[in-house]
Structure 1
Amino acid sequence: MRRILTGFLAITAVAGLGGVSLAVWPIAEPPKLAELEGDAQRGAYLARAGGCIACHSDPDSGRPALTGGAPIKTGFGSFVPPNLTPHETSGIGAWSIDAFARAVRQGVAPDGAPYYPAFPYAFYGHLSDKDIADMWAAFQGVPAQEVTGGENDIAFPFNLRFGLKLWRAAYAKGPPTEADPERSEVWNRGRWLVNGVAHCGACHTDRNLLGGRRASQYLAGSDDLAGGGKVPAIRPGYLAQAGWTVASLAYGLKSGVMPDGDTFGSGMGEVVRHGTGWLSEEDRRAMAAFLLDTDETGDGG
């Protein structure tokens, strides 16, 4: 904890040098999507792929889905995923689609404050205007609920948000999702899902003292998850050595069952139950093909 505090104080000291200029530093140009009409069914699919239901719901609380997730406990404090139902005060009912787009793709709240990186917005920056409009339509169709999961509990000095603007400059860029013309359509679809909306690297990548993902350790696993959890590497060599094939990994993303017959742990089990288990067979195979670095989707991949 002391090392984390030291690192944070260092970056906030640098931030202080910017003075007022940092406080008014624009994060990004606001989007303009108001004229778009979304497809709620497709948006619900993307929300599943993006982990929205898993993160913003807490079944153990007895509250309805999307009314706020269980607290995410980290060395910086406890973060509570908020209510995403269209309630005017408890949820996002007072937002516009443009505010929603800015939050999802840029990590900026309607009042202009930057979100903490517990919200994996860096992985959503590739979502198109159409993707955002579809997701917005899906959330607008959810029953409004006047309940929340509570408030963040972040200790000083981590509750000072101005340092997040410098953090963003250093770490907020997500992994590549653009198509590689040298690879197959299925590999590129898997890349779009794994590196983007499914944000696999948010958990399966180790982080530094400031909570930034270590680029050299992308998908190499982490032993310092929120709550003290651990996740394995999901790089091609590791997966192949562990006995995974495209077919078995695609099945694992649906069922939670591993090649040896065991099942995923609780964290990945939640991902499967609320996220990847709802995806199409084609998309699960695409994710598996990308993770195993093959352009094929057959069992020999």
Structure 2
Amino acid sequence: MRTILAVIALCSAVAGAALAAEPSPELIAYGKALVEAGDCAGCHTADPAKPFAGGKRIDTPFGAIFAPNLTPDRDTGIGAWRDADFVRAVRTGIAPDGSNYYPAFPYPYFTKMTKDDVLAIRAYLGTLAPVASRNKPPELRWPFGYRGLMRLWNAMYFKPGLFEPDQSKSAAWNRGGYLVTGLGHCGACHTPKNYFGADRNAQALSGNEVGGWFAPRLDGAVRTGLKSWSEEDITEYLQSGRNAKSHAGGPMAEVVVNSTAKMSDADVRAIAIYLKSLPSTRRETIVTPPDNAEMKAGQAVYAKLCIACHEADGSGAPRIYPPLPGNALLQSNNPSSTLRIILDGAHTVTTPRAPNTGEMPGYAKQLSDDEIAAVTNYIRNSWGNAGLLVTPAQVARARKREANGE
């Protein structure tokens, strides 16, 4: 009898422990908010009908990798993982089998996250519908396909450790720092990389080319950064994809729609507070204006095709047609985003806060490389703007990259 009672008691204890371990609705909701803040779906969803099932191709300078399955499928996803496996993977880039992930998975940023936040994310992912979707092997150039090389990369460039709050700053500033440098992994796109794909930390958030687009400076640079933006400007941009100074395009438009537009007002405001506090991390380039012939050629194209929406003075219609004077992205040293928009056109993203649409046609077929270079130089150097000279050869390369799907 005692044995039977002991067995019953043990079973009850196990059942109680299992019940106690069941994540609460509040924890799941918090995990969902963290997943959205980290824009996890942006990389881990290839098929919208199968969210987080992985398979999305991510191109890097070293070749392509494919995002893995994050659904709780036990064979092909993370359903069989222990909590410790998940924490180690997210914060140190090591898979349950001991192999190393590539830093296209931004564990160098996620290492700053608290264990509780990582487990909240796992709790939310555990509520997803399991999807059988086997992870695809990477397609990397030799020798980058050897995962063992990542141990050397980590030894040289990976610094594990939690976000360290600055006690002299406000709680909002520290929350913004946690989101920007950790969960939000903003530097993955906006920080320049060295030859081996590691961040140039001395130039943090000073702009970087990504997939044929230029992720602009988020530091305090006067002409090409956020010096002229207020906290309200940054908040509006992140919540709606537009403000009185600029519109989100390319990969950033996806980030707004899938991530920042869904974040809480407090978290978006915290990001704005943190970014506005950043100094310029490197000097802005001194620009020599284009010659008169180039400016006249560009003005002629502008008067024919652009003036109807952007006005003669470039003022446009804020939040509908972005203004050109003082536009930081437009004046960036790297003109990739500007060329991409002129060649392919643009579509204003819609969000709950800004549901109206806007369109700009592409001019790849209508304009030659010389004409696109001329109009680009004109708008980058009119109305007080100052941008480095763009050549027809740069336009040709942009066309080629677009044709190759880069």
TM over 0.5: yes
Which TM-score band (shorter chain)? 0.7 to 0.9
The answer for the alignment partner of 2:169 in structure 1 is 183
CA deviations 1:8-44 (Å, max 9, x no partner) are xxxxxxxxxxxxxxxxxxxxxxxxxx99764111111
Structure 1 residues without counterparts, runs of 5 or longer: 1-33, 295-301
Q: Within 5 A, what are the aligned runs for 1:137-176?
A: 137-147=123-133, 150-173=136-159
Contact 1:37–1:133 (Cα < 8 Å) also in 2:
no
CA deviations 1:92-144 (Å, max 9, x no partner) are 11211111111001100010011001000011112222112211110100000
**Measured at CA, do residues 176 and 134 of structure 1 come closer, stay the same or move farther in structure 2, by a change above 3 Å?**
closer
Larger radius of gyration: 2
Q: Which runs of 4+ in 1 moved over 4 A?
A: 34-38
Shift in Å, 1:229: 2.7
CA deviations 1:58-103 (Å, max 9, x no partner) are 3xx4541111153111221101111110011221112111111110
The answer for the alignment partner of 1:51 in structure 2 is 39
Contact 1:67–1:147 (Cα < 8 Å) also in 2:
yes
Contact 1:36–1:133 (Cα < 8 Å) also in 2:
no
Shift in Å, 1:151: 3.3
The answer to whether residue 208 in structure 2 is matched with residue 230 in structure 1 is: no
Contact 1:70–1:149 (Cα < 8 Å) also in 2:
no
Contact 1:237–1:292 (Cα < 8 Å) also in 2:
no
SS state at 2:90 partner:
helix
Amino acid at match of 1:180: D
The answer to whether residue 235 in structure 2 is matched with residue 250 in structure 1 is: yes
The answer to whether residue 189 in structure 2 is matched with residue 203 in structure 1 is: yes
Structure 2 residues without counterparts, runs of 5 or longer: 1-17, 279-406
2:276 to 271, 285, 292: 292
SS state at 2:59 partner:
strand
1:98 to 79, 84, 87: 84
The answer for the alignment partner of 1:259 in structure 2 is 244
Contact 1:175–1:195 (Cα < 8 Å) also in 2:
no
Contact 1:253–1:272 (Cα < 8 Å) also in 2:
yes
Q: Report the Cα distance in structure 1 between the residues aligned to 2:171 and 2:62, rounded to whole angstroms.
A: 40
SS state at 1:78 partner:
strand
CA deviations 1:178-236 (Å, max 9, x no partner) are 1111111111111111111101111100101111111111100012x2x3332110002
Shift in Å, 1:174: 6.5
Contact 2:76–2:135 (Cα < 8 Å) also in 1:
no
Contact 2:113–2:163 (Cα < 8 Å) also in 1:
no
The answer to whether residue 204 in structure 2 is matched with residue 213 in structure 1 is: no
The share of aligned pairs that are identical, in percent, is 37
TM-score, normalised via structure 1 length: 0.79
Contact 1:54–1:270 (Cα < 8 Å) also in 2:
yes
TM-score, normalised via structure 2 length: 0.59
Shift in Å, 1:175: 9.1
Amino acid at match of 1:73: D
Q: Report the Cα distance in structure 1 between the residues aligned to 2:221 and 2:56, rounded to whole angstroms.
A: 34
Contact 2:217–2:226 (Cα < 8 Å) also in 1:
no
The answer for the alignment partner of 1:78 in structure 2 is 64
Q: Report the Cα distance in structure 2 between the residues aligned to 1:36 and 1:236, rounded to whole angstroms.
A: 46
The answer to whether residue 259 in structure 2 is matched with residue 271 in structure 1 is: no
More RCO (CA 8 Å, sep 6+):
1
